[in-house]
Amino acid sequence: MLKSFASSFSPALTRNAAVLYTIKNLLPAGIVVVLTVFTVCSYYLYHPYAELTADTPGYVNFAQQLRTTGNPINVFRLPTYPLFLLLISLFVGPQNLFAVSIVQGILFICAVIEFYVLTLLLFKQSWIACCISLLVGTNIILISYSKTLMTEGLSLWLLLSSLLLAICIMRSGNMALLKWLGLFLALLFFTRPEWASFPILLFAYLLWNGYRRSEFRSKLLSMVRVAIVLYALLAIYIGCNFFIHHYLGLTSVENMNLIGKVMQYHMQNEAPPGYEHIQRIIDFNVTHTHLSPYQLLGKHPELGRNNAQPVGDFARAIIWRHPFEFIGKTIPLLFESLTSYYPVSISASPLNIPQHNWTEQAVSVLSSLHRRLYALNVLFPYGSIIWISLLCWSRTRKHLSVQAMGLIVLTVWFALILTTLGGYYLSDYMRVHIVFDALIIITIWGTILYVPYLFFHLLIAPKKWA
């Protein structure tokens, strides 16, 4: 398998050797790796324990289900992250959760290395790749969320790996990489369900890129085959969920998210006839008790029967009857969620943990820096407009950097829209944005650092850049 993986990459790596394997590129890469490892180690020394959230037990229980029964179907959680927990537990034991956290830290370092390669392939300037990669590698916000026993760190790595493979396909035309892209995409949407429709967007973009380069037919059949396999797996999982748990979907969390949105938008009184009992309970909660959907169903278990289907149907009935109101209330959140900052929320940490003064100082300085930089996410819509405009302009559309940045921008908007439609707390948006925050960073800072460089060379050396 490893031999096949290496042989798939060899043509693409050979073609890109001039970009990747030079001293001037390896030295900045070394700086990125050293500073990323230093930052990750500093944070782990500052928090030398497994950090759990309210959602962690669900994944741990699913891993226990896999260990004892081998059943990969669960109505509440998807299987990739529990399988990840299970594989690590085979080496360190099921109780050593801090080992899982360490592996997630290693995955974050791997993600930063891939991010450096990605930016280097895009912009072909090691100093730009180094600067932007350091904004990710030293990012305490990303590290803190990646360290917790949740899906964000794994999903961040899977998404960056998928996009790196996609851009290698765009650059080299090596369709042997497509099977590995399909594998990473499957792992991604079986980790977080909002990415289940992402392969459609990604393959459509790659086909559009191939059409422009007269490679449409050669790519179409291969992508159709991979797409059929991916969505066959998805359909099988949904079918198994239906027959085992009587839920037609990937995860029953969808019902919780829908009722959470209705409560967030105060739309509970817009239900059609037949939902009066649920409407009264939801309205009283929104007006007085302010319980979360999970707390509400704990207090009213009749609403949680059949995988929370009563509240899911209630929310769908409202949304389908008032789609424009729902969309109108969602649009402002797209932009508000970009800059809403909430530190990672974990369960109580162990007491009397020894601290090192230098780690506290390093983490404090970097946290303060990246907290300020996080506010620059407000620039993402403007940066995305610039890159889409460059993609539409004939003089710049031919450049790989512009084509690939078009894919990255569309990926962020795809994820931003779906997570905003699914989440119902600003703190939730902060958490799920961790998966694609690195892409927001490359959009903003690629605009600031590379677009002037691109225009400068177009003006002074138009033939070279034609």
pLDDT tens per residue across span 423-434: 999 888 999 999
Q: Which of 12-16, 27-31, 403-407 has the lowest mean pLDDT?
A: 12-16
Each residue's pLDDT tens digit, 183-221: 999 999 999 999 999 999 999 999 888 766 666 677 788
In this prediction, residue 10 carries a pLDDT of: 53
Res. 1 pLDDT band, cuts 50 70 90: very low
Res. 15 pLDDT band, cuts 50 70 90: low
User: 114 near 161, Cβ under 8 Å?
Assistant: yes
Q: Where are the alpha helices (DSSP H) in 273-398?
A: 276-284, 293-299, 305-321, 323-339, 357-374, 380-392, 394-397
Res. 296 pLDDT band, cuts 50 70 90: very high
Res. 466 pLDDT band, cuts 50 70 90: very low
Residues 283 and 262: their CA atoms lie apart, in Å, by 10
Residue 90: exposure state from Cβ atoms within 10 A (0-12, 13-18, ≥19): exposed
Closest C-alpha among 14, 9, 20 to residue 178? 9
Whether the model pTM is above 0.85: yes
User: 226 near 186, Cβ under 8 Å?
Assistant: no
Helices and strands (H, E) in the chain, number of each type: 25, 0
- The one-letter amino acid code at 276 reads E
CA distances from 290 to 315, 345, 431 (A): 17, 19, 21
In this prediction, residue 349 carries a pLDDT of: 63
CA distances from 296 to 41, 283, 290, 293, 305 (A): 40, 12, 9, 5, 13
pLDDT at 105 over 50: yes
pLDDT at 330 over 80: yes
**Helix pair angle (380-392, 437-449), 10° resolution:** 60
Residues 360 and 47: their CA atoms lie apart, in Å, by 10
> What value does the mean pLDDT take over residues 294-316?
93
> What value does the mean pLDDT take over residues 313-331?
95
**In this structure, what token pair is assigned to residue 458?**
């177009």
User: Residue 167: in which H helix or E strand, if any?
Assistant: helix 152-172
**In this structure, what token pair is assigned to residue 109?**
């370092």
In this prediction, residue 2 carries a pLDDT of: 44
Each residue's pLDDT tens digit, 115-158: 999 999 999 899 999 999 999 999 999 999 999 999 999 999 99
Residues 337 and 381: their CA atoms lie apart, in Å, by 12
In this prediction, residue 54 carries a pLDDT of: 86
Each residue's pLDDT tens digit, 247-290: 999 999 999 999 999 999 999 999 999 999 999 999 999 999 88
pLDDT at 20 over 60: no
Residue 351: exposure state from Cβ atoms within 10 A (0-12, 13-18, ≥19): exposed
Please, what is the average pLDDT of the chain? 89
- The one-letter amino acid code at 322 reads H
> What value does the mean pLDDT take over residues 348-354?
62
Q: Is 326 helix (H, G, I), strand (E, B) or coil?
A: helix
Closest C-alpha among 214, 205, 215 to residue 174? 215
Closest C-alpha among 306, 298, 296 to residue 268? 296
Residue recorded with tokens 């080496």: 91
Residues 5 and 177: their CA atoms lie apart, in Å, by 8
Each residue's pLDDT tens digit, 144-154: 999 999 999 99
In this prediction, residue 184 carries a pLDDT of: 97
In this prediction, residue 26 carries a pLDDT of: 82
User: 138 near 39, Cβ under 8 Å?
Assistant: yes
Closest C-alpha among 367, 371, 363, 343 to residue 42? 363
Residue recorded with tokens 């034991």: 93
